[in-house]
Amino acid sequence: MGNDNSLVGAGRIAGAGKRQTILAYFSMRGVEFSERVAAAGAAGFDGIGFNVAEYLKLRADGTTDAQLQAILDKHNVRILELEALRLLDDAAAKDFEHVARTFGAERVQVISPFGPDKDIDLEKASAWIGELAKRTEEAGINYAIEFLPPTKIPDIATAQRVAQASGQKNVGLCVDTWHVFRGAGLASLADLDFSMVKNVQVDDGTMKPRLDDYIQDCIHYRELLGAGEFPLVEFFRRTPPAAPISVEIISDNLDDIPAMERAKVQAESLERTLALV
């Protein structure tokens, strides 16, 4: 599939206007591909996030690219973002490039490694992502560096420096509410260069972590927009008004809800929040 942008900015979720809306991959944990695509389409999302590891498993099990594309076409949904490429991972970069080119994905989420491998050279990382971005620029692929407090790219300022040092305009950043409010806070958005924002990922939660382990906390206890304590209206007012919105609510509670309802309640929470902005 080429880069057919006919669905971009369709604004099917009320209140999104011309903004592209994405149902993030981790918002639908445990849901198989066709069911996830159907749920995203029924809930009014323009597209979905896709995990490259899942793609490789589907292909290994015999599913073809054409079959995956047929499912997407049936529900008028696109693969818009890919999760999540770790900086300096050459082998994974080839797989991400293949999937992005095959399905016309517009963004690759990029993270700095966490855990034992987190101590990377940021200058080397900038050059690495710059080379990848330059090679794939003609395919319309953007790279959104997502800052995470427990990594070498913990905040907006560092993410922007890494992106700028790449020398490529198709390298920018993803601004995720979780990492803002569990990191440097609302004040950090004052330093945000709107021109560098490739997308925002949105979720809600308590201001005080439930678990001491940052990663474990963020993959179990996110909440529907408006159900937590994050000042989401201010977040939207301090981020680019046309940036694509990826709803990423990673929640053990949501995992127990059937796929159609799960996508619907996430879309509705976004609609309610945008109505207040």
pLDDT digits (tens, 9 = 90+) for 145-182: 999 999 999 999 999 999 999 999 999 999 999 999 99
Q: What is the pLDDT of residues 215-224, one digit of tens each?
A: 999 999 999 9
Q: What is the mean pLDDT of residues 6-14?
A: 61
Which tokens sit at 236?
A: 């939207």
**Token output for 98:** 């293949």
The yes-or-no verdict on residue 109 having pLDDT over 50 is yes
pLDDT at 6: 35
Tell whether the model's pLDDT for residue 124 goes beyond 80. yes
pTM: 0.94
Task: State the pLDDT at residue 10.
Answer: 52
Residue with tokens 């899942």: 54
Asked if 58 contacts 99 with a C-beta cutoff of 8 angstroms, the reply is: no
| pLDDT, mean of residues 130-144 | 98
Please report the domains of the chain, with CATH numbers, ordered by start residue.
Answer: 21-274 (3.20.20.150)
Q: What is the pLDDT of residue 7?
A: 36
Query: CA-to-CA distance for 100 and 123, rounded, in angstroms?
Result: 25
As a whole number of angstroms, the distance between CA 189 and CA 186 comes to: 6
* Nearest CA-CA partner of 110 in 46, 28, 176: 176
What is the band of 197 on the pLDDT scale with cuts at 50, 70, 90?
very high
DSSP string for residues in 68-109: HHHHHHHTT-EEEEEEEEETT-HHHHHHHHHHHHHHT--EEE
How far is residue 80 CA from its own chain's centroid?
9
For residue range 47-82, list pLDDT tens digits in order. 999 999 999 999 999 999 999 999 999 999 999 999
